[in-house]
């Protein structure tokens, strides 16, 4: 069997070969394998140089100072460190946090944990297009609110929040602002020297770097303090202890440097492919795009094929690797909470497919996906009692179904 065509770049990306080649030079005896913290000998110095270079590469892509980068194991850890770190350090200022219902679980579940510790969290509803209404945020900020955490780009629907406007609001209200940028770095311009953002989380594996590697931007001027979550040798200015994984760090640095050099052109190419995919579905009935189409990263298309269940559609189109908001693809049997937060019916959430296009997607891939999806959606609709009812003009929302 030939392997399926990968169209799930928001889940993870392959490591760019140029990145992997760099990483391999920091592992073996003939490479720079040293501990960057060994400041007394050659091996340590070599590794430390590599880490310094990577720190600058990451900082350069996002307009930060290298000293503002804290290495972590990934965006999940960065989100934990940012949110718990602020909450614990500044708890005397207040114990209230604001976030969005469509955030990644790494943010939502961290907030849940803080609730168990006695903090209060406001989970804001996004607008139906997935974007945050600034007025809703404005009303939610209270005297005792210490932190707002809003993601830059949503992992499921790809919508881009206006973090500048949100950040300005936070600054006015003297509230810390954390942004989960796992899905935006390398896709959307980020200039932290101008953006009113205090903390920002990054991941390497979403932009062709290695898994298990991330970073947290912690603003220095004015200085943001965090309570460490990982204690030990005091690495990363005490904010995150643990021996630095040189090869992983070098990989993340290289990935960010490549993104900086190529993202302009790459975005144009990827957007053209995404638009080609969308145009390929023209004329299909009962197709709904989830999330705002304008404020959206180029590579994302989240689309519901009504009256077709997402998991069976994924099975039918298994020549392409995509993801679905269908309950059946999750262990919880709940449909996507992100799509539900947009106000989608459960049916539409069950019927959603997320295509995410990236660096190695070709026109042939897209054309193949279009033909496959069109054929299989038709096949499954021919099999669907709901499609029959729709065709007979029966409004299925008016029927009393027995939930099970």
Considering only residues 264 through 323, tell me which ones interact with other proteins, judged by CB under 8 A.
307-309, 311-312, 315
Burial 64-80 (b: 16+ CB within 10 A, else e): beeebbbbbbbbbbbbb
Selected binder of other proteins within 321, 328, 368, 372 (CB under 8 A): 328
Query: Taking the complex as a whole, how short is the minimal distance between the CB of residue 334 and other proteins, in angstroms?
Result: 10
Residue 259, CA distances (Å) to 54, 153, 188, 204 in order: 13, 17, 10, 11
Q: Which is nearer to other proteins, 149 or 324 (CB)?
A: 324
DSSP letters, 89-132, are HTTTT--EEEEETTS-HHHHHHHHHHHHTT-EEEEEPPPTTSPP
Nearer to other proteins (CB atom), residue 226 or residue 353: 353
Q: Smallest distance, Å, CB 339 to other proteins? A: 13
Distance in angstroms (rounded) separating the CA atoms of residues 234 and 345: 49
Closer residue to other proteins (CB): 194 or 392: 392
| Residue 398 in contact with other proteins, rule: CB under 8 A | no
CA distances from 288 to 40, 125, 297, 300, 335 (A): 61, 20, 18, 14, 16
By beta-carbon proximity to other proteins, the closer residue of 230 and 328 is: 328
CA pair distance 162, 152, nearest whole angstrom: 8
Three-state secondary-structure class, residue 162: coil
- Residue nearer to other proteins on the CB measure, 24 or 315: 315
393 binds other proteins (CB under 8 A): no
Q: Verify binding: residue 326, other proteins, rule CB under 8 A.
A: yes
Query: Is residue 1 a contact point for other proteins (CB under 8 A)?
Result: no
Residue from 24, 127, 134, 383 touching other proteins (CB under 8 A): that is: 383
Q: Name residues contacting other proteins, limited to 176-215 (CB under 8 A).
A: none
The count of C-alpha atoms lying within 13 angstroms of the C-alpha of 216, restricted to the half-sphere facing its C-beta, is 31
Q: Find the part of the chain contacting other proteins (CB under 8 A) among 77-85, 145-153, 235-243, 385-393.
A: 385-393
Tell me how far, at minimum, the Cβ of 340 lies from other proteins, in Å: 10
Which range binds other proteins by CB under 8 A, 22-30, 155-163, 187-195, 325-333?
325-333
Nearer to other proteins, 222 or 393 (CB): 393
Closest contact distance (angstroms) between CB of 329 and other proteins is: 7
Q: Does 329 bind other proteins (CB under 8 A)?
A: yes
Q: Check if the beta carbon of residue 204 is closer than 8 Å to that of residue 236.
A: no
Dig out the tokens for 391 from the structure: 């065709």
Tell me how far apart the alpha carbons of residues 51 and 53 are, in angstroms, rounded to a whole number: 5
* DSSP code for 152: S
Number of residues that bind other proteins (CB under 8 A): 29
Tokens representing 200? 């920002």
What is the nearest approach in angstroms of other proteins to the Cβ of residue 374?
18
Q: Indicate the residue among 248 and 351 with the shorter CB distance to other proteins.
A: 351
- Cα 167 from Cα 163, distance rounded (Å): 6
Q: Are strands 320-321 and 5-6 parallel, antiparallel or unpaired?
A: parallel
CA nearest 285: which of 400, 172, 384? 384
Minimal distance, residue 147 CB to other proteins, in Å? 35
3 contacts other proteins (rule: CB under 8 A): no
CB of 233 to other proteins, least distance (A): 43
Instruction: List binders of other proteins among 330-359 (CB under 8 A).
Output: 331, 333, 335, 345-347, 350
Between 241 and 329, name the residue whose CB sits nearer to other proteins. 329
Span 119-138, contacts to other proteins by CB under 8 A: none
Helix or strand holding residue 148 (H, E)? strand 145-149
| Greatest CA separation for the chain | 79
> Any catalytic annotation for residue 328?
yes
Single out the catalytic residue among 140, 287, 295, 328. Answer: 328
CB atoms under 10 Å from CB of 9, counted, come to 24
Calculate the CA dihedral of residues 28, 29, 35, 40 and round it to 10 degrees: -160
Q: How far is the CB of 337 from other proteins (least distance, A)?
A: 14
Q: Binding residues for other proteins, per CB under 8 A?
A: 307-309, 311-312, 315, 326-329, 331, 333, 335, 345-347, 350, 382-388, 396, 401-404
As annotated, the active-site residues are: 328
């Amino acid at each position: 069997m030939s392997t399926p065509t990968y169209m799930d770049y928001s889940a993870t990306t392959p490591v760019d070969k140029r990145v992997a080649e760099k990483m391999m030079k920091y592992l073996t005896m003939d490479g720079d394998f040293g501990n960057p913290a060994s400041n007394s000998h050659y091996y340590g110095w070599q590794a430390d140089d590599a880490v310094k270079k990577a720190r600058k590469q990451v900082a350069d892509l996002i307009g930060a100072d290298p000293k503002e980068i804290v290495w972590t194991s990934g965006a999940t850890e960065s989100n934990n460190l940012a949110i718990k770190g602020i909450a614990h350090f500044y708890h005397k200022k207040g114990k209230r946090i604001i976030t969005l219902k469509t955030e990644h679980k790494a943010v939502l579940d961290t907030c849940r944990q803080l609730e168990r510790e006695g903090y209060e969290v406001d989970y804001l509803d996004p607008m139906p297009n997935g974007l945050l209404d600034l007025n809703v945020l404005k009303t939610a900020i209270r005297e005792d609110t210490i932190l707002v955490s809003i993601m830059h780009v949503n992992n499921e629907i790809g919508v881009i929040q206006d973090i500048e406007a949100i950040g300005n609001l936070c600054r006015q209200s003297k509230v810390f602002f954390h942004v989960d940028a796992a899905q935006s770095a390398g896709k959307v311009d980020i200039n932290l020297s101008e953006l009113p953002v205090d903390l920002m989380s990054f991941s390497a594996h979403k932009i062709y770097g290695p898994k298990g590697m991330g970073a947290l931007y912690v603003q220095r001027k004015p200085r943001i303090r965090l309570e460490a979550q990982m204690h030990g040798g005091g690495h990363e200015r005490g904010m995150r202890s643990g021996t630095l994984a040189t090869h992983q760090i070098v990989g993340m640095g290289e990935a960010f440097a490549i993104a900086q050099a190529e993202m302009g052109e790459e975005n144009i190419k990827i957007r053209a492919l995404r638009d080609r995919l969308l145009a390929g579905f023209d004329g299909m009935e009962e197709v709904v795009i989830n999330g705002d189409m304008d404020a959206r990263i180029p590579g994302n298309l989240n689309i519901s094929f009504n009256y077709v269940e997402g998991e069976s559609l994924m099975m039918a189109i298994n020549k392409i690797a995509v993801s679905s908001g269908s309950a059946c693809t999750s262990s919880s049997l709940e449909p996507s909470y992100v799509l539900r937060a947009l106000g989608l019916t459960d049916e539409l959430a069950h019927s959603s497919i997320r295509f995410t296009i990236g660096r190695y997607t070709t026109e042939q891939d897209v054309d193949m996906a279009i033909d496959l999806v069109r054929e299989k959606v038709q096949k499954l609709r021919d099999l669907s009692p709901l499609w029959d009812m729709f065709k007979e003009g029966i409004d299925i929302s008016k029927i009393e179904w027995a939930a099970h």
